Amino acid sequence: MQNRDLRTLREIARLGSFREAAERLNMTLSAVSMQMKALEAQLDGALFDRSTRPPRLTPLGRRVAEAADEVLAAEDRLRALAGPEAPLAGRFRLGLVASASARLLPDFLQSVARDLPHTRFDLRTGLSEQLEGLVAEGALDAAVVTATGVALGGGRHTLLARDRLILAVPPGEAPLPFLHFAPTTGIGRVIAAELAHRPDLRDAPRIVLDHVETIVACLDAGVGRTVLPEIDLARARQPFDATALDAMRSLVLVTRIGTPLDAYAERLAALLGVRSAISAT
Amino acid sequence: MQNRDLRTLREIARLGSFREAAERLNMTLSAVSMQMKALEAQLDGALFDRSTRPPRLTPLGRRVAEAADEVLAAEDRLRALAGPEAPLAGRFRLGLVASASARLLPDFLQSVARDLPHTRFDLRTGLSEQLEGLVAEGALDAAVVTATGVALGGGRHTLLARDRLILAVPPGEAPLPFLHFAPTTGIGRVIAAELAHRPDLRDAPRIVLDHVETIVACLDAGVGRTVLPEIDLARARQPFDATALDAMRSLVLVTRIGTPLDAYAERLAALLGVRSAISAT
DNA sequence: CTATAAATTCAATCGAACTGAACATGCAGA
DNA sequence: TCTGCATGTTCAGTTCGATTGAATTTATAG
């Protein structure tokens, strides 16, 4: 079945004559006639009552013309997906490291709903390394992870945000245990590296936790000291002594080089609520 | 845009490789490749990430494949309208003479809803002559009217029902006026013709009414005598003296000869709740 | 009944899409 | 890391289908 024929049928239904439809579609009257003949043959049913001179649609013809409208409307919707005005359309599979999701997701989902009504995002969370692997093998289109050194082969890192690490200590004299974000994760590894320079923290009793929220809650309770990105500590409700460290936690967008999406990395980064994204392999 | 290409895209999305799609669709691998290339050119967007060997769908590609499903589904729905199993599908414009609509419509609409879910009927009422004219000029596909003699040129009458005319007289001695259904209508003319043979009725005082319901109500009230089809008098609530007349009221389905619908007249008649329809020009 | 506009038919032509072969390339196994 | 294979791409040739224009038919208006 040819959509071209359906388009012609629609024009005939609208204008009421083969001739007018032919003119409007820049075709010969004979081409119009042949198309309709072919359509009737394919459907095995009379679409027109040819006993009258401008042939009239039969009841079946009217119904088919309506159905043709639907087919063509669906086609138009498909066309609208691509084209210059919709460069970021599609169905993206995006991975998010858990520690970043709370920070980025709300704004991100809001921007998407507002600016990209035709775009869908299938989201999943995971650990940085795991997500980076999924991007490499094509199971994800992109992932937001904590940068730990350099990108995997074939992957590009687009910097989304850099947050200074802060040593947070509840007020008081007693030496408190160190609340360590799970050291096998991306951010955990950054923190572990920093501990190497701080023997006082490195040698303190250690409590390993794998949720930022939990660590902050413990900090509020005065249960221990911790090192976390500044942005996460902003959620603390009790005052604490803050010491800025040299290390930073970098959130990056991972894409696979050469991938069509890779070209959109900057735009996707912008969508993730970051003002100016810096790309680096 | 070719639906054939969309069909191919759908298979690729389903099976995950060009080769498998080509086999399943009985095409060359090269044809599949060229179709997808053409589709990408038309949409002006990359549907596949070709940096990997079985090329993978891009986010845009996934979205387009979904949209293709919708286009193809709409096409399937269109196909289902025609074909051997749906001979009476379509959007019919059907006229009904007012005096028949009460009798036929309920059963008719019920049958349609049950047996022809894909068929729509645009209904209108009118006088027999007017409706027959609309059928002749193609503004209606068919009409149910009261037969007054023979069909108009180019029209076919398919008999739907014949109801004997009954002279109904309320019990009592007094000579009552005659309640005459509007004599310019189809059934009214049949009644008028019958009056010619009955001087007692013809010369009685006459009250002209244009609704069967009204006449029956007047009959119940003992206000006058009348002649109506048996079926309409069945709605009377009071007993009356009934005399069968020779004349009959014939309800016929009018179609235009040579029209595709004309071939379905018998079936449409059956749908109108009549057991055996007899056709006559 | 005739003239005219509209649609159909048909043969010729044109173009789009498919095919098969040669070529390129990612990926798996050594 | 290298090699072979399977998969996809490219290209030229061919085939099939669609369009065209002329001739013909036919419904409708005058």
DSSP track, A130-160: HHHHHHHTTS-SEEEEE--SSPPTTEEEEEE
Calpha distance A30→A40 (Å, rounded) = 15
Q: Please indicate, yes or no, whether residues A133 and A31 belong to a single structural domain of this protein.
A: no
Tell me which residues have their CB below 7 A from strand D. Answer: A 2, 4, 26-28, 30-31, 34-35, 38, 51-53; B 17-19, 29-30, 32-34, 36-37, 48, 50, 53-55
Range of the domain at B68: 3-82
Q: Which of B5, B52, B78 would best serve as a mutation to test chain A binding (most A beta carbons within 10 A)?
A: B78
Q: Domain check: are B118 and B54 in the same one?
A: no
- Closest CA in chain A for residue B89: A60
Q: Which residue of A has its CA nearest to B55?
A: A138
**Residues 33 through 62 of chain B touching chain A, CB cutoff 8 Å:** 43-46, 49, 51-52, 56, 58-62
How many domains, in total, are found in chain A?
2
For residues A99 and A182, membership in a common domain is answered with yes
Sign of CA dihedral A43, A46, A50, A55: negative
**A125 in the same domain as A73:** no
Q: CA-CA distance, A189 to B65, in Å (whole number)? A: 41
Mark whether A272 and A140 lie in a shared domain.
yes
* B222 shares a domain with B136: yes
pLDDT tens, position by position, B151-186: 666 788 888 888 899 999 999 888 889 999 988 888
pLDDT value of position B226: 95
Q: Residues of A numbered 155-184 whose beta carbons fall under 8 angstroms of chain B's beta carbons: which are they?
A: none
SS3 A167: strand
User: Cα dist. B236→A258, B168, B220, B230 in Å?
Assistant: 85, 10, 6, 10
- How is residue A97 annotated by DSSP? E
CB-based contact, A67 to chain B, within 8 Å: yes
Neighbours of B201 (CB within 10 A): 20
Residues A109 and A188 in one domain: yes
Quickly state the pLDDT bin for A273 (edges 50, 70, 90).
low
Asked whether residue B94 falls in the same domain as residue B66, the answer is no
Query: Given pLDDT bands bounded at 50, 70 and 90, which one contains residue A85?
Result: low
User: What's the DSSP call for residue A265?
Assistant: H
The reported pLDDT for the residue numbered B276 is 46
pLDDT at A67 over 80: yes
CB-based contacts of A13: which residues, under 8 Å, 6+ apart?
A57, A61, A62, A65
Q: Tell me which protein residue sits closest to nucleotide D10, measuring alpha carbon to C1'.
A: B30
The last residue of one of the domains, among A82, A111, A135, is: A82
Mutating which of B75, B76, B116, B264 best tests the A interface, going by the most A Cβ atoms within 10 A? B75
3-state secondary structure chain B: CCHHHHHHHHHHHHHCCHHHHHHHCCCCHHHHHHHHHHHHHHHCCCCEECCCCCCEECHHHHHHHHHHHHHHHHHHHHHHHCCCCCCCCEEEEEEEEHHHHHHHHHHHHHHHHHHCCCEEEEEEEECHHHHHHHHHCCCCCEEEEECCCCCCCCEEEEEEEEEEEEEEECCCCCCCCEEEECCCCHHHHHHHHHHCCCHHHHCCCEEEECCHHHHHHHHHCCCCEEEEEHHHHCCCCCCCEEEEEEEEEEEEEEEECCCHHHHHHHHHHHHCCCCCCEEEC
Q: pLDDT (tens digit, 9 = 90+) per residue, A124-180?
A: 998 888 888 888 888 888 999 998 776 666 788 888 888 899 999 999 888 899 999
- Which range, of B10-24, B82-96, B217-231, averages the lowest pLDDT? B82-96
Task: Tell me the CATH number at A28.
Answer: 1.10.10.10
Residue A84: predicted pLDDT: 66
Determine whether the distance from the CB of A18 to the nearest atom of strand C is below 7 Å. Answer: yes
For the cut 80, the answer to whether the pLDDT of residue A250 exceeds it is yes
Strands B90-97, B142-146: pairing is parallel
Please report which helix (H) or strand (E) contains residue A119, including its range.
Answer: strand A119-126
Distance (Å) from CA A259 to C1' C10? Answer: 53
Nearest to A63 among B74, B90, B259 (CB): B90
Amino acid at B248: M
Residues B36 and B148 in one domain: no
Whether residue B11 has pLDDT greater than 60: yes
Residues A99 and A196 placed together within one structural domain of the fold:
yes
Q: What pLDDT is stored for residue A86 in this prediction?
A: 66
The A 42-81 residues near strand C by Cβ under 7 Å are: 48, 50, 53-55
Same domain, B161 and B39: no
Decide: helix, strand or coil at residue A127.
coil
Strand C and B1 CB separated by under 7 Å: no
Q: What is the CATH number of the domain that holds A233?
A: 3.40.190.290
CA of A75 to C1' of C19 (A): 29
Confidence at B277, pLDDT banded by 50, 70, 90: very low
- The last residue of one of the domains, among A82, A113, A131, is A82
Residue B6 has pLDDT above 90, yes or no: yes
- Kindly state whether residues A66 and A148 are assigned to the same domain: no
Task: Show which of B82, B97, B122 is a domain's final residue.
Answer: B82
- Are B95 and B134 contacting, i.e. CB atoms less than 8 angstroms apart? yes
